[in-house]
């Protein structure tokens, strides 16, 4: 069996330093970091002129099509520290029937449910765990609404790192069991994800765990930004008119916005950007509220509730980075209700694509934006489906037949 060259070929790496996303304070690379001194996320910076000289589109095109083909724009320096489960490039799926129904150009779904552990959390966690391995971490801990914990447990187990995962007690059952099956020590907590995060923070101080919470370490953004890198190449080094992204912690939205800047700096794309739409549920919409109020930071959303567990995040540590990207792009933060999410999942199924609830939220928001004139009917829009719909409860619409009785075949 031929090895994936992306996983075994040593390539030059170009990380220069880390910097605070709020203050710009500089931090040394290749050392273990959490948040900055200002209590804000750290961003990985690269020697982009050197990347531009080293990497060409032609060279990139010759590499196997997975996440690791972007090594020059990733933080892992040594292939020995890559912890991979096969992070394939995810496909673009056009919703033709949806486009016809809405009398609009068919929206395109980037279907992240095809990744290991069935969600886009694999992108962020493979990078975070690979860097944790590189930097000598022995135990990681994190809060989760489900999919991130499953990915963390899988990659940590593969890397020989202990994982301790805390999730709200109403986390989808399949996620809780998946975390345990993948080797994580999982605890159900009678609270929300930020309540779980408080336990992680206390445990990190008391027991020396490394806190792998969203944006509390620098490298999940680097994994998630590969969504933007892939998207640009899949669109022929152009970008769509708009991106609708399900937003809880917002790592992926922040990461894609960072990716577009890096691609421009190395000469792969121009200055044109898509409008970024941060999509939340109306039962938990702190980013939407802050956007509408003109604020740069979002207050905690009390009594958060939505069936889309992945975007039930009452407070995001990277709130200002999400809001900055949305505003700079000319996009918006939009909230949709659970009934609209359920209806959107059912509509997408008519196109043969089973969305997760968070993915359904992006389709619901797109439909509303289209109706409101926010999106033009001829504009090219990409929706992100962040996980396979197979992980979520589905209504039983089956019927029964008695094989021993008379079956009216004409009436079936």
The model's pLDDT over 133-168, given as tens digits with 9 standing for 90+, comes to 999 999 999 999 999 999 999 999 999 999 999 999
Q: How confident is the model at residue 2 (pLDDT cuts 50, 70, 90)?
A: low
* Whole-number pLDDT of residue 234: 98
Q: What is the CATH number of the domain that holds 341?
A: 3.40.50.1100
* Whole-number pLDDT of residue 1: 43
Q: How confident is the model at residue 395 (pLDDT cuts 50, 70, 90)?
A: confident
Structural domain total, the chain: 1
Torsion of Cα atoms, 122 then 125 then 126 then 129, to 10°: -160
338 in a structural domain = yes
DSSP structure string for 243-299: EEEE-SS-HHHHHHHHHHHHHHHTTSS-S--PEEEEEEETTB-HHHHHHHHT-SS-P
d(CA 271, CA 46): 19
Is the pLDDT assigned to residue 302 strictly greater than 50?
yes
Tokens (6 digits) for 289: 């509220």
Mean pLDDT confidence for 97-117: 97
Tokens (6 digits) for 34: 């959490």
140 in a structural domain = no
* Whole-number pLDDT of residue 411: 86
Cβ distance 128 to 149 under 8 Å? no
305 in a structural domain = yes
272 in a structural domain = yes
Residue of 289, 278, 340, 276 whose CA lies nearest to 311 = 278
Is the pLDDT assigned to residue 4 strictly greater than 70?
yes
Cβ distance 280 to 287 under 8 Å? yes
205 in a structural domain = no
Query: How do residues 65-92 score in pLDDT, each as one tens digit?
Result: 999 999 999 999 999 999 999 999 999 9
Mean pLDDT confidence for 223-249: 97
Query: How do residues 376-393 score in pLDDT, each as one tens digit?
Result: 999 999 999 999 999 998
382 in a structural domain = yes
Mean pLDDT confidence for 191-196: 93
The SS3 call for residue 93 is strand
107 in a structural domain = yes
pTM of the model as a whole: 0.95
Mean pLDDT confidence for 115-132: 97
Mean pLDDT of the chain: 96
Burial 180-195 (b: 16+ CB within 10 A, else e): eebebebeebebbbbe
Query: How do residues 27-70 score in pLDDT, each as one tens digit?
Result: 999 999 999 999 999 999 999 999 999 999 999 999 999 999 99
d(CA 169, CA 35): 27
**Phi–psi pair at 232, nearest 5 degrees:** -60, -45
* Whole-number pLDDT of residue 200: 96
d(CA 375, CA 393): 31
401 in a structural domain = no
* Whole-number pLDDT of residue 78: 96
Is the pLDDT assigned to residue 126 strictly greater than 60?
yes
382: containing domain: 92-117+220-391
* Whole-number pLDDT of residue 394: 87
Mean pLDDT confidence for 220-248: 98
Specify the range with the lowest mean pLDDT, choosing from 15-19, 168-172, 323-327, 368-372.
Answer: 168-172
Mean pLDDT confidence for 275-299: 97
Is the pLDDT assigned to residue 273 strictly greater than 50?
yes
């Amino acid at each position: 069996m031929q090895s994936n060259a992306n996983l075994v070929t040593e390539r030059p790496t170009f990380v220069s330093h880390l910097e605070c996303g709020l203050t710009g304070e500089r931090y040394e690379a290749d050392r273990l970091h959490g948040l900055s001194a200002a209590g804000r996320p750290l961003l990985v910076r690269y020697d982009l002129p050197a990347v531009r000289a080293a990497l060409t589109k032609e060279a990139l095109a010759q590499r196997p099509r997975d996440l690791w083909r972007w090594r020059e724009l990733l933080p892992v320096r040594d292939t020995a520290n890559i912890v991979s489960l096969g992070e394939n490039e995810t496909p673009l799926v056009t919703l033709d029937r949806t486009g016809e129904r809405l009398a609009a150009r068919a929206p395109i779904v980037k279907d992240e449910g095809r990744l290991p552990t069935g969600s886009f959390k694999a992108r962020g966690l493979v990078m975070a765990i690979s860097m944790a391995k590189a930097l000598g971490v022995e135990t990681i801990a994190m809060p989760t609404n489900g999919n991130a914990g499953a990915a963390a447990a899988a990659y940590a187990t593969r890397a020989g790192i202990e994982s301790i995962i805390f999730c709200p007690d109403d986390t989808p059952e399949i996620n809780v069991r998946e975390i345990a099956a993948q080797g994580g020590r999982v605890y159900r907590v009678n609270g929300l994800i930020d309540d779980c995060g408080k336990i992680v923070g206390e445990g990190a101080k008391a027991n020396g765990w490394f806190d792998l919470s969203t944006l509390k370490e620098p490298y999940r953004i680097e994994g998630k930004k590969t969504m933007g890198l892939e998207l640009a190449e899949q669109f022929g080094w152009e970008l769509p008119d708009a991106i609708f992204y399900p937003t809880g912690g917002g790592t992926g939205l922040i990461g894609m916005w960072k990716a577009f800047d890096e691609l421009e700096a190395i000469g792969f794309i121009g200055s044109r950007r898509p409008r970024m739409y941060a999509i939340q549920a109306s039962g938990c919409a702190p980013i939407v509220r802050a956007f509408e109020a003109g604020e740069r930071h979002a207050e905690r959303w009390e009594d958060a509730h939505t069936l889309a567990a992945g975007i039930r995040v009452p407070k995001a540590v990277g709130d200002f980075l999400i809001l900055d990207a949305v505003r700079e792009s000319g996009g918006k933060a939009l909230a949709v209700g659970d009934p609209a999410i359920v209806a959107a999942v059912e509509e997408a199924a008519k196109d043969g694509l089973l969305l997760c609830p968070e993915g359904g939220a992006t389709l619901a928001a797109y439909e509303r934006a289209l109706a409101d004139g926010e999106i033009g009917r001829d504009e090219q829009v990409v929706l992100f489906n962040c996980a396979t719909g197979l992980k979520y409860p589905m209504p039983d619409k089956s019927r029964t037949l008695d094989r021993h009785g008379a079956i009216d075949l004409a009436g079936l």
